[in-house]
Structure 1
Amino acid sequence: MGTVAALYRYPVKSTLGEGVPAVAVTADGFAGDRVFAVLDGTRAVGSAKHPRKWGALLRCRSRTDSSGRVRVVLPDGSALAAEDPDLDQRLSRLLGRQVFLSAAVPERSRLERAVPEYEGEVPDVVRATASVDATGESITSGTVAPGTFFDFGKVHLVTTASLARMREVYPAGDFDVRRFRPNLVVDTDDGPGFPEDAWPGSRLRVGEALFRVVVPTPRCAVPTLGHDELPPDPGIMRAVAREHRVPVFDLGRLSCLGVYLDVLEAGTVRLGDKITSQQTV
């Protein structure tokens, strides 16, 4: 099926993350992934899916140092440990309101998503519940996955074949994989686009770990935003919406790229590991 081309984790939700040569996979996903999030007084979990409110987080980077401590690199290049009392103040200045970094998921948390003008990113039933908030953005609200800072799946996979297909569809766009914030990038040897469409329900052995493919990954506004040196490009998601809308549960046909995975067996995954499909029992 392919090999592991890249591994990423994002110690602080909605910041730029770090590529790693190997990672321990636990029942909760990649070790060190989304262990912190930035919160505000309304119990909103900081997510660049609401760019006007939280998009500045993508100007920061989170990484894990050699001692296992998470550090946040701010736009001016300074790196502060997650426990540094000055970090909350610096993040509050960056975002223009009082926020704080937390490893604890609040009860009744809120996850806000901007609603795009094009169809396919938000289910019609959800779009009907949208409201305009203080930023002037039309948003919907949901929750994070129980007990975590994940939106839904614990591991997110993207294939090189799907990215290659989107480059054919929209040659002016830069479909750098970092825009899609995967954990696991699979090199499918230049096969046809969107091979992962056939994977939901299957089991994938990746290195020592075993995963179950749950569902295609509906995309939001985040791939259109600036990431590091990558400039904003609203055409990225318009192209995905035109080219690849697939059924997701009972929510209709949504703009998708990649799939979400659950962990069935823990273990270490390394760059270059082969990926094989295993029969379900």
Structure 2
Amino acid sequence: MGTVTALYRYPVKSMLGENVPSVTITERGVSGDRVHAVLDGSGAVGSAKHPGKWGDVLRCRSRLDDAGVVRVVLPDGTALSVEDPELSVRLCTLLGREVFVCAVVPEHVRLERAVPDYEGGVPAVLRKSAFVDETGERVTTGSVAPGTFFDFGRVHLVTTAALDRMRTVYPGGDFDARRFRPNLVVDAGDAPGFPEDAWLGARLRAGAALFRVVVPTPRCVIPTLGHDELPPDPGIMRAVARDHRIPVFDLGRLSCLGVYLDVLEAGTVRVGDVITLQESV
């Protein structure tokens, strides 16, 4: 059905991640993925979904070193371990307020999301409850997946077909997969458009790991932001909103690209591994 063309993990939530040749899949998801986050004293977890407050986190890069220690490279090139107290000091300076790096998910942590002005960026019910915060942005608040720093799904997959489709819709946009922060990028062969839409509920085998395809991935503002050398482009998500708004649970028709996966069987996935699809059982 296809092959894995790229693998990514993001050891610190909302920081740039690392492109790796293989990943270990556990029941939790990709080993080493979103194991830390930046938090502030209000209980907000650092997410570039609210760029006015947390956008500078995306200017940092996180990676695992050979000993399995998470290291963060700051915008000025300084590399520090997450265990180094200096890292929180530097992040406070970067963000202009008191923050800290944490590996333990607080009980009442919350996630803030900016509300875009196009339809499909957030569920209508959340748009109605949005408010303007101290940054001047309209935001909504919600929770993370229980016991984790994930927004919802443990593993995120994007197909090259979906990215190719969006390039035809918005030729001026750079639909680099990194904008969408996937764990797996899959080449589904000659399948047109958004082949992953037809996979919902099915089981997907990648290397030694087995997943269930759970739900389309609703997109926030993050793909429109600058990622490393990729410049900001607000047209990216406007194009997705025009071309691919589809039902997500009972939340209405949302702008989606990619799918979230649950882990059924742990195992190693490598670039080049064949992807096979099994009907839902």
Q: TM-score range by the shorter chain?
A: over 0.9
Q: Separation in 1 of the partners of 2:150 and 2:31?
A: 13
- What residue is the counterpart of 1:98 in the other structure? 98
User: Does 2:78 align with 1:73?
Assistant: no
Alignment root-mean-square deviation, CA: 0.6
Alpha-carbon distance, 1:188 to partner:
1.4
- What residue is the counterpart of 2:189 in the other structure? 189
1:141 aligned counterpart, secondary structure: strand
2:5 aligned counterpart, secondary structure: strand
For residues 62-83 of structure 1, give each alpha carbon's deviation from its aligned partner in whole angstroms, at most 9, with x where no partner exists: 0000111000000010100010
Alpha-carbon distance, 1:193 to partner:
1.0
- What residue is the counterpart of 1:273 in the other structure? 273
For residues 18-57 of structure 1, give each alpha carbon's deviation from its aligned partner in whole angstroms, at most 9, with x where no partner exists: 0110111000000000000000000100000000000001
Alpha-carbon distance, 1:89 to partner:
0.4
- What residue is the counterpart of 1:233 in the other structure? 233
Alignment check: 8 A CA contact 1:211 1:265 kept: yes
Alpha-carbon distance, 1:280 to partner:
3.1
Q: Separation in 2 of the partners of 1:227 and 1:277?
A: 31
1:175 aligned counterpart, secondary structure: coil
In structure 1, give the amino acid aligned to 2:152: F
Q: Separation in 1 of the partners of 2:190 and 2:230?
A: 24
1:101 aligned counterpart, secondary structure: strand
1:55 aligned counterpart, secondary structure: helix
Alpha-carbon distance, 1:150 to partner:
0.1
User: Does 2:13 align with 1:18?
Assistant: no
User: Does 2:60 align with 1:55?
Assistant: no
Alignment check: 8 A CA contact 1:50 1:114 kept: yes
Paired residues for 1:1-281 under 5 Å: 1-281=1-281
Alpha-carbon distance, 1:190 to partner:
3.9
1:269 aligned counterpart, secondary structure: strand
Alpha-carbon distance, 1:61 to partner:
0.1
In structure 2, give the amino acid aligned to 1:27: E
Alignment check: 8 A CA contact 1:160 1:190 kept: no
State the TM-score, normalized to the length of structure 2.
0.99
Alignment check: 8 A CA contact 1:22 1:268 kept: yes
Q: Separation in 1 of the partners of 2:76 and 2:189?
A: 39
1:16 aligned counterpart, secondary structure: coil
Q: Separation in 1 of the partners of 2:111 and 2:50?
A: 9
2:139 aligned counterpart, secondary structure: strand
Query: Structure 2: where are the runs of 5+ without partners?
Result: none
Report how many aligned residue pairs link the two structures. 281
Q: Separation in 2 of the partners of 1:116 and 1:215?
A: 22
Q: Separation in 1 of the partners of 2:202 and 2:130?
A: 34
Alignment check: 8 A CA contact 1:70 1:81 kept: yes
Q: Separation in 1 of the partners of 2:227 and 2:250?
A: 32
For residues 114-170 of structure 1, give each alpha carbon's deviation from its aligned partner in whole angstroms, at most 9, with x where no partner exists: 000010111111100100000000000001000000000000000000000000000
Q: Separation in 1 of the partners of 2:171 and 2:61?
A: 28
In structure 2, give the amino acid aligned to 1:42: S
2:161 aligned counterpart, secondary structure: helix
Q: Separation in 1 of the partners of 2:183 and 2:206?
A: 13
Q: Separation in 1 of the partners of 2:155 and 2:190?
A: 23
In structure 1, give the amino acid aligned to 2:211: F
2:108 aligned counterpart, secondary structure: coil
**Consecutive aligned runs of 4 or more in structure 1 exceeding 3 Å deviation:** none
2:167 aligned counterpart, secondary structure: helix
Alpha-carbon distance, 1:191 to partner:
2.2
1:44 aligned counterpart, secondary structure: coil
Alpha-carbon distance, 1:178 to partner:
0.3
